[in-house]
Structures are given as C-alpha cells and as structure tokens.
Amino acid sequence: MGDSIFIRNMEFYGYHGVYPEERRLGQKFIISLSLGCDLRAAGRMDDLTLTVDYGDVYNRVKAIVEGRPRKLVEAVAEEIANHLLRSYPIVHTVTVHLEKPAAPISGIFETVGIELVRSRVNS
C-alpha cells in the first residue's frame, strides 16, 4: 500500500441520470475519495504546500458534482478522478466511490454506485 489522503461521504445535490426526471428534479450523490500520495515530506516539514488541501479537494469535487449534468455516474466519477490527478502533482492514484441512494430502481435498497481507480499511468 502506501500513504493516502481520504475524504468520506461528501454529500452533494446534482442532476445526473439517464431519465429526464433525474435531470429535472435532481438527487443526492455521496462521494468518498482516496488519494494515493507520498506524505513523508509533508509529515517531516509540517508544510501544507507539500500535501493536498482537503478543503480545496472538497470544493473541486463539489463543482463537478453540482455542475454540468451527465447521464452516467461513471462520467461524473471519471471527471473527478482525472481532474484531481491533473490538479495535484503529488497524487499518483485516485479512488472515487460514488453512491446514488435515490436511483430510480423499483425495489428496496440502501444505495447503488460505482468505484473506480485511476492513476497517472491509466488516466
């Protein structure tokens, strides 16, 4: 394994979905992230510029999820992962766990979602 920074269960309201009602009414999306990076220098130097600012990550993810509607949650997660890899040179892998608890499925369930892992090699 290695070092990582994580943010769990960020909740945003977005308008993503295949069905017109989803894109019109919107719904809650829950995002958790893990950012693989080497945190030794930040730990040794106690310097924010040598790591990733959690607040900045939150705001970037919020802008994507609450921004332009997409049909697929896969497209939302892909945009998040690629954006974070481009934005933070220290980050070498991004895991995005995206949940859609109000997905239009006829049945009883807690949540549905996806998880994807991207790295500088496969992004």
Q: pTM for this one?
A: 0.93
Look-up of token digits 């945009």: 79
Buried b (16+ CB within 10 A) or exposed e, 38-61: ebeebeeeeeeebbbeeeebeebb
Tens of each residue's pLDDT in the chain, 123 residues: 689 999 999 999 999 999 999 899 999 999 999 999 999 999 999 999 999 999 999 999 999 999 999 999 999 999 999 999 999 999 999 999 999 998 989 999 999 999 999 998 754
Cβ 64 vs Cβ 80: under 8 Å = yes
Fold of 4-119: GTP Cyclohydrolase I, domain 2 (3.30.1130)
Boundaries of every domain in the chain: 4-119
Instruction: List the catalytic residues.
Output: 100
